[in-house]
Amino acid sequence: MRIKLALGVAALTAFSPMTALATNGYFSHGYGTISKGMAGAGTALSQDSIAAATNPAGMAFVGNRIDGGFEVFSPRREYTVEGPVSPPPAFSLQPGTY
């Protein structure tokens, strides 16, 4: 019974949809819901009206349309500065987490 339960949980975990955020938050891997769904392949294959953000030539194949989408993406971005502070001519940051 436990083996069947473990296999069932493993199968549900393996086949359940997972969100993969393949970006560090500074640069988007696509613009528009369709392009994001294709991991940024919308640069080469324009399928929505926001294609001009990455490839203006792709607008020739889109036609007359209006698209809409909604997304919330807010990764935690931080960095830690360690070591001594540089002398005045160089740009320096105080040690700490920002």
pLDDT tens digits for 13-66?
888 776 665 566 677 777 777 887 887 777 788 788 887 777 888 888 788 888
Render the burial of 54-76: b for 16+ CB within 10 Å, e for the rest: beeebeeeeeeeeeeeeeeeeee
pLDDT at 73: 73
- Quote the pTM value: 0.45
The more confidently predicted of residues 5 and 25 is: 5
CA gap 81, 26 in Å, rounded: 19
Q: Which element (helix H / strand E) includes 96?
A: strand 96-97
HSE, CB side, 13 Å, CA atoms: give it for residue 39: 5
For the chain, the structural domain boundaries read: 23-97
